[in-house]
Amino acid sequence: MFGNLSDRLIETFKNLRSKGKLSPADIDATLREIRRALLEADVALDVVKNFTSSVRERALGDEVSKALNPAQQVVQIVNEELVKILGGQQRKLSFAKTAPTVIMLAGLQGSGKTTLAGKLAKWLKDQGQTPILVAADLQRPNAVNQLQVVGERIDVPVFAPEPGNGVGNPVNVAKDSIKHAKQKMFSVVIVDTAGRLGIDEELMTQAKDIRKAVDPDEVLFVIDSMIGQDAVNVAKAFDDGVGITGVVLTKLDGDARGGAALSVASVTGKPILFASNGEAMDAFEPFYPDRMASRILDMGDVLTLIEQTQKNFDETEARAMAEKLAKETFTLEDFLDQMQQLKKMGSLKSMLAMMPGAGQMRQQLENFDEKEIDRTEAIIRSMTPAERRQPKILNGSRRSRIAKGSGMTVTDVNSLVNRFEQAAKMMKTVAKGGVPQMPGIPGM
């Protein structure tokens, strides 16, 4: 996501960094580059104009000329202004004072509403809420069924019209679902509504009627980040027609130019609450404008990375590992454990992409093959416990036996052992509080 935009901005700043003092001409040249990069990423023209003029005003002012490192200061300004157009402060989901909280989803067909309904329900359930999904999309023949499949996947009930009751009226279904939720004590009702391929009157009227019937605490407008320049019109139409309280961006994992993300918040003045980045039910996270800006500017999204790690990493195990590292008793067995931990956290590629500097190793990341971890595992599994504990004893004949056992070549085995040694060295540095170089990541 934001790959090209990120590359362009990083390149622009690289040129700037080589300069000590910045002249107005340097700043103008930088702004031209930024403007071009944003437009190419499909950010709406008005948003780009406002953005560059705010950056220009600040960059020509005292804060840059008096800064110790003017180039760094410009990057800082761009970062702050990016945070602003992404909505500023993070805005959390609002809950009703008395249950149930009602969340209505609106958006074009294919924007990812149904998938999002499931992700949101799972996320809420993980926090101890008891959500129910409501199928108020009766337009698309398969929509109710699709929501039911999603509900089954995450084990969340779905409220839908009885089959055989004809097409049904989505407004009534939505209204009944609230009664049902109250009776059965569900804490959150998520109402999936019908989308169309384009904006039309009937769709807006229906969404408005559903809104009236369920009196939602949140109306989340779901938008596909790949939609491009159209994002602004669609968002405005939904805000005018239905009235939205927040935005959810989907498909941020696609090789989207990302303009929708950067335009919608400032055009509608409505905050982005969540970002969805994959088809899996947990490919979803709360949206933090500051973290997203850091990711775009390749300052790394270390906070999200830490949160994801914490979610999946067993603390006692982590502590034991840290002790081993400090005592330099880290073995290939631990390496194997660690790889399994990494696998639990999900895609290594998406985790690495959040590291500071990831933008500059994009090519390596693209080429990174998640299967490499399986191959590495196969090699380690073909070793005897003694070999795993003491890689030093791995002589030529042992290496060739391991290669045969794992279906790999001796070169693969050698390269793994080398990488392990590097990784152990790198982790020793980390354990001692230093900053590692990158080469020791398994599989890279």
Site for ligand GDP in 151-190 (CB under 6 A): none
Nearest approach in angstroms of CB 179 to ligand GDP is 24
d(CA 170, CA 155): 23
Residue from 228, 254, 405, 443 in contact with ligand GDP (CB under 6 A)? 254
Site for ligand GDP in 44-103 (CB under 6 A): none
Tokens 């900053």 -> residue: 435
Residue 58 or residue 251: which is nearer to ligand GDP going by CB? 251
Instruction: Give the E-state strand segments of 260-338 in sequence order.
Output: 272-276, 284-286
Residue 278 or residue 289: which is nearer to ligand GDP going by CB? 278
CB atoms within 10 A of CB 346: 16
Nearest approach in angstroms of CB 354 to ligand GDP is 17
Nearest approach in angstroms of CB 222 to ligand GDP is 6
Stretch that binds ligand GDP, among 240-248, 271-279, 332-340, 433-441 (CB under 6 A): 271-279
CA nearest neighbour of 112 among 353, 281, 239: 281
Nearest approach in angstroms of CB 255 to ligand GDP is 10
Alpha-carbon dihedral sign for residues 104, 108, 109, 114: negative
Tell me whether residue 298 is annotated as binding: no
> In terms of DSSP bridges, do strands 131-136 and 188-193 run parallel, antiparallel, or are they unpaired?
parallel
CB 189 within 8 A of CB 101: yes
Site string for ligand GDP, 212-251 (x = CB under 6 A): --------------------------------------xx
Tell me whether residue 253 is annotated as binding: yes
DSSP 193-253: E---SS--HHHHHHHHHHHHHH--SEEEEEEEGGGGGGHHHHHHHHHHHT--SEEEEE-TT
Here the tokens at position 135 are 């199928």
- Is 278 an interacting residue with respect to ligand GDP (CB under 6 A)? yes
Tokens 């990016």 -> residue: 82
Tell me whether residue 113 is annotated as binding: yes
d(CA 155, CA 167): 26
Tell me whether residue 194 is annotated as binding: yes
Site string for ligand GDP, 96-115 (x = CB under 6 A): -----------x-xxxxxxx
Tell me whether residue 200 is annotated as binding: no
Surface-to-core class of residue 86, CB atoms within 10 Å of its CB (0-12 exposed, 13-18 middle, 19+ buried): buried
CB atoms within 10 A of CB 370: 11
Residue from 90, 130, 277, 338 in contact with ligand GDP (CB under 6 A)? 277
Nearest approach in angstroms of CB 9 to ligand GDP is 24
Site string for ligand GDP, 305-344 (x = CB under 6 A): ----------------------------------------
Tell me whether residue 111 is annotated as binding: yes
CA nearest neighbour of 382 among 355, 407, 360, 409: 407
Tell me whether residue 196 is annotated as binding: yes
Nearest approach in angstroms of CB 357 to ligand GDP is 25
410 alpha-carbon distance from chain centroid: 38
Alpha-carbon dihedral sign for residues 97, 98, 101, 102: negative
Tell me whether residue 252 is annotated as binding: yes
Tell me whether residue 91 is annotated as binding: no
Residue 30 or residue 276: which is nearer to ligand GDP going by CB? 276
Binding site for ligand GDP (CB under 6 A): 107, 109-115, 195, 250-251, 253-254, 276-279, 283
Sequence ranges of the binding site for GTP: 107-114, 192-196, 250-253
Sequence ranges of the binding site: 107-114, 192-196, 250-253
